[in-house]
């Protein structure tokens, strides 16, 4: 019997096989529920999949801290949410510890050592997006496993305990949701085209809601990681399997690339908003660390609150702010270990004030007229999860394969999908990537360089205390969704639920289009069109997860746009 999906209700009631409890946990992978919101006092996890959120909470209950729970949740997502949860991709972690320390861990993929600037251009200089977006030539050196071990430095429980639920889920299988069945079916052709060893995701006759997905090879890979640490991925049998896959499919990742991969702890970006708020977010190669402070500073002195949520005036102001920031993104942003990026200037009050002179409160801007600022010299699949623990630690992680199911190539014999993150580089100046973002020299491909990202895991403090943990997938819409969610809560006094689920909008300078979600009010669209905006409706913008902490109460909310689930106790 299958029940229809509704928020906070049991969605799967499938007894396709005898109910089996995962070892060490009381999690039932054959019967689980989507829960959109939880209010609790001890700790909470919100992620894209009910089983992953449950795994995280189990770890908290066992005495693990937010890092332990986040590691276990990420690993579980790599099994139960294969479109984006991953061990073959990369991402970013932002954390605010109970002792006040801020942490930013960069486990973004990097270009292989044999990558070069023009590797996706044909003999005539034309871009070959089929190569930057599919198959293993599109794959950056994966960072996720290095990231998990960098996080585990701050955890309390042994890694072996944190990875075991994922191993059990892979080995014994779990029932798939209607959403998972649908997306797996959409990608059947790609899985067949981009794999020479047929992966477990291919199913004759297609997938149905309630089918059990068992991933034995992935379980073996996870066991090698459990037993050998990061070397269980970057060296030995898993590395051999990755390199063999490269040979079969014309990829260029070598044993040396894998062995040399390092996650990097960076200084988190920390800035104030008005008197009470401090925002902690991810620095480059996440563009969020530049765009979020720019956008927040651009609205800081504007009477946004008096305009009202999704009023014409508010949407106009926020759209123009997004346009201005994205113009700078295209020109200046890239991996600052490779190119000089004037971050300090771009986020300075003076620069931001100067940029706001281009804002006309009565008229839509025009991206032809609004270019990036002049700087003299300086003196759609990803997934997000948040955890808050009873010690007061906050952790916010966005991780990705880039497109849904990444490159669509599963490492033969190792059972995990490889990313197609190379497409996040500017493969040719001025040519948009799969999210329509243009870039230039700063984000050109170079060996071992990290590609620019939009992922913006963030923590907001209020009067120096944890207040919001926030993040989302969504390609270039990530930064604008995080911006809007924070503004909706801080400025428009919206509940986290409304801020997450209310219709979002997005402008990224180029194309010069204001994108809105289906439920975005028609009358506001019409008024904005009169002001000169070209408006286009698009699919869901983001899948935002929020944890709000106030007056000793924890409220965790998962986005209605997916199976996202909040759990806590
Ligand atoms: O790092 C980035 O900005 C992209 N690779 C993220 C992709 C993404 O969010 C797709 N999800 N919908």
Q: How far apart are the first and last CA of the chain?
A: 29
402 lines ligand 1 (CB under 6 A): yes
Which 3 state secondary structure label does DSSP give 327?
helix
Question: How far, in Å, from the CA of 135 to the mean position of ligand 1?
Answer: 17
133 lines ligand 1 (CB under 6 A): no
Question: How far, in Å, from the CA of 65 to the mean position of ligand 1?
Answer: 27
Give yes or no for a contact between 400 and 91, defined as CB atoms under 8 angstroms apart.
yes
Nearest in space to 363 (alpha carbons), one of 193, 163, 228, 531 = 531
90 lines ligand 1 (CB under 6 A): no
Residue count of the chain, please give it: 569
pLDDT of 381 reads 79
Q: What is the DSSP letter of 175?
A: E
pTM: 0.95
400 lines ligand 1 (CB under 6 A): yes
The reply to whether 24 falls in a domain is: yes
Ligand 1 pocket test, candidate residues 143, 380, 432, most atoms within 8 A of CB: 380
The reply to whether 206 falls in a domain is: no
**Long-range contacts (CB closer than 8 Å, 24 or more residues apart) made by 268-272:** 268/94, 268/102, 268/103, 268/104, 269/104, 269/293, 270/102, 271/296, 271/297, 271/347
Checking if the pLDDT of 370 tops 90, the result is no
Confidence of residue 377 (pLDDT cuts 50, 70, 90): low
Q: Is 479 a catalytic residue?
A: no
Of ligand 1's atoms, which has the minimum distance to the CA of residue 424? 5
568 lines ligand 1 (CB under 6 A): no
Residues 191-231: tens digit of each pLDDT: 999 999 999 999 999 999 999 999 999 999 999 999 999 99
Checking if the pLDDT of 544 tops 60, the result is yes
Of ligand 1's atoms, which has the minimum distance to the CA of residue 380? 12
- 328 C-beta neighbours (distance < 10 Å), count: 23
Confidence of residue 63 (pLDDT cuts 50, 70, 90): very high
Shortest-distance Cα residue to atom 5 of ligand 1: 402
Of ligand 1's atoms, which has the minimum distance to the CA of residue 108? 1
Task: Tell me the C-alpha distance between 158 and 203, whole Å.
Answer: 36
Residues 89-144: tens digit of each pLDDT: 999 999 999 999 999 999 999 999 999 999 999 999 999 999 999 999 999 999 99
Question: How far, in Å, from the CA of 276 to the mean position of ligand 1?
Answer: 31
Question: How far, in Å, from the CA of 337 to the mean position of ligand 1?
Answer: 21
The reply to whether 36 falls in a domain is: yes
Q: And the tokens for 569? A: 């106790």
453 lines ligand 1 (CB under 6 A): yes
The reply to whether 467 falls in a domain is: yes
455 lines ligand 1 (CB under 6 A): yes
Residue 340 CA, chain-centre distance (Å), reads 25
pLDDT of 375 reads 66
The reply to whether 131 falls in a domain is: no
Give yes or no for a contact between 282 and 456, defined as CB atoms under 8 angstroms apart.
yes
**Which whole number is the average pLDDT over 284-302?**
98
CA distances for 150 relative to 264, 437, 468, angstroms = 8, 30, 23
Shortest-distance Cα residue to atom 6 of ligand 1: 475
Checking if the pLDDT of 47 tops 60, the result is yes
Residues 170-192: tens digit of each pLDDT: 999 999 999 999 999 999 999 99
Residues 410-437: tens digit of each pLDDT: 999 999 999 999 999 999 988 888 998 8
pLDDT of 18 reads 34
Question: How far, in Å, from the CA of 327 to the mean position of ligand 1?
Answer: 19
The reply to whether 415 falls in a domain is: no
Of ligand 1's atoms, which has the minimum distance to the CA of residue 542? 12
The reply to whether 77 falls in a domain is: yes
Domain that holds residue 93: 1-109+143-176+263-404+454-569
Catalytic residue among 136, 238, 382, 399: 382
Shortest-distance Cα residue to atom 12 of ligand 1: 380
Shortest-distance Cα residue to atom 2 of ligand 1: 453
424 lines ligand 1 (CB under 6 A): yes
Checking if the pLDDT of 1 tops 80, the result is no
Residues 247-291: tens digit of each pLDDT: 999 999 999 999 999 999 999 999 999 999 999 999 999 999 999
pLDDT of 15 reads 32
Question: How far, in Å, from the CA of 437 to the mean position of ligand 1?
Answer: 11
Task: Tell me the C-alpha distance between 534 and 97, whole Å.
Answer: 43
Residue percentage of the chain with pLDDT more than 90: 91
- 39 C-beta neighbours (distance < 10 Å), count: 13
109 lines ligand 1 (CB under 6 A): no
Question: What's the structural domain count of the chain?
Answer: 1
171 lines ligand 1 (CB under 6 A): no
Give yes or no for a contact between 105 and 263, defined as CB atoms under 8 angstroms apart.
yes
481 lines ligand 1 (CB under 6 A): no
Confidence of residue 22 (pLDDT cuts 50, 70, 90): low
Question: How far, in Å, from the CA of 301 to the mean position of ligand 1?
Answer: 31
Residues 133-143: tens digit of each pLDDT: 999 999 999 99
Confidence of residue 376 (pLDDT cuts 50, 70, 90): low
**Which whole number is the average pLDDT over 471-483?**
97
Checking if the pLDDT of 145 tops 50, the result is yes
CA distances for 136 relative to 118, 132, 142, 422, angstroms = 17, 9, 12, 10
Pairing of β 382-388 and β 174-175: unpaired
Instruction: Please say whether the dihedral angle defined by the alpha carbons of residues 79, 149, 165 and 239, taken in this order, is positive or negative.
Output: positive
The reply to whether 240 falls in a domain is: no
- How big is the chain by its Cα radius of gyration, in Å? 22
381 lines ligand 1 (CB under 6 A): yes
Of ligand 1's atoms, which has the minimum distance to the CA of residue 477? 9
Ligand 1 pocket test, candidate residues 454, 481, 540, most atoms within 8 A of CB: 454
Question: How far, in Å, from the CA of 361 to the mean position of ligand 1?
Answer: 31
Question: How far, in Å, from the CA of 292 to the mean position of ligand 1?
Answer: 16
475 lines ligand 1 (CB under 6 A): yes
Residues 510-538: tens digit of each pLDDT: 999 999 999 999 999 999 999 999 999 99
């Amino acid at each position: 019997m299958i029940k229809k999906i509704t928020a906070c209700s049991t969605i799967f009631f499938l007894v396709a096989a005898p109910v089996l409890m995962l070892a060490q946990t009381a999690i039932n992978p054959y019967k689980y529920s989507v829960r959109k919101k939880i209010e609790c006092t001890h700790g909470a996890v919100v992620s894209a999949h009910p089983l992953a959120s449950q795994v995280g909470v189990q770890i908290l209950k066992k005495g693990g801290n937010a890092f332990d729970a986040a590691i276990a949740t990420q690993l579980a997502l790599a099994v139960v949410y294969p479109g984006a949860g991953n061990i073959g991709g990369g991402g970013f972690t932002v954390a605010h510890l109970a002792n006040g320390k801020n942490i930013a861990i960069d486990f973004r993929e990097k270009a292989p050592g044999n990558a070069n600037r023009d590797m996706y251009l044909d003999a005539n200089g034309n871009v070959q997006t089929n190569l930057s977006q599919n198959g293993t030539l599109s794959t950056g050196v994966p960072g996720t496993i290095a990231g998990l071990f960098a996080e585990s430095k701050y955890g309390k429980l042994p890694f072996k305990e944190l990875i075991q639920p994922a191993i059990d889920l892979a080995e014994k299988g779990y029932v798939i949701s209607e959403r998972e069945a649908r997306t797996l079916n959409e990608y059947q052709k790609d899985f067949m085209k981009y794999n020479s060893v047929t992966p477990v995701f291919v199913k004759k006759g297609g997938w149905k809601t309630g089918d059990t997905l068992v991933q034995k090879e992935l379980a073996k890979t996870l066991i090698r990681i459990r037993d050998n640490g990061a070397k269980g991925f970057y060296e030995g049998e898993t590395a051999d399997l990755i390199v063999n896959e490269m040979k079969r499919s014309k990829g260029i990742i070598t044993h040396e690339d894998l062995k040399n991969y390092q996650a990097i702890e960076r200084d988190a970006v920390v800035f104030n908003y008005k008197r009470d708020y401090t925002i902690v977010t991810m620095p480059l190669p996440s563009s969020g660390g530049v765009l979020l402070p720019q956008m927040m500073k651009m609205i800081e002195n504007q009477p946004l609150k008096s305009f009202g949520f999704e009023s014409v005036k508010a949407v106009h102001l926020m759209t123009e702010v997004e346009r201005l920031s994205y113009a700078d993104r295209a020109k200046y942003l890239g991996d600052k270990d490779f190119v000089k990026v004037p971050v300090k200037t771009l986020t300075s009050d003076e620069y931001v004030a100067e940029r706001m002179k281009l804002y006309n409160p009565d008229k839509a801007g025009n991206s032809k007229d609004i270019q990036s600022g002049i700087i003299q010299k300086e003196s759609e699949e990803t997934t997000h999860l948040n955890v808050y623990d009873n010690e007061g630690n906050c952790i916010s992680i966005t991780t990705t394969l880039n497109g849904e199911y990444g490159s669509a190539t599963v490492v033969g014999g190792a059972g995990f999908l490889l990313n197609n993150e190379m497409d996040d580089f500017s493969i040719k100046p001025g040519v948009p990537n799969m999210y329509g973002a243009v870039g230039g020299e700063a984000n050109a491909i170079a060996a071992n360089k990290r590609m620019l990202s939009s992922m913006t895991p963030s923590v907001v403090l209020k009067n120096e205390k944890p207040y919001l943990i926030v993040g989302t997938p969504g390609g270039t819409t990530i930064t604008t969704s995080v911006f809007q969610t924070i503004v909706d809560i801080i400025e428009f006094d919206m509940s986290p639920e409304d801020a997450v689920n209310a219709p979002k909008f997005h402008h990224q300078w180029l194309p010069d289009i204001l994108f809105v979600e289906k439920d975005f009010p028609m009358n506001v669209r019409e008024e904005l069109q009169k002001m000169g905006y070209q408006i286009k409706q698009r699919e869901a913008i983001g899948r935002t997860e929020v944890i709000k902490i106030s007056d000793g109460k924890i409220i965790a909310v998962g986005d209605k746009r997916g199976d996202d689930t909040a759990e806590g106790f």
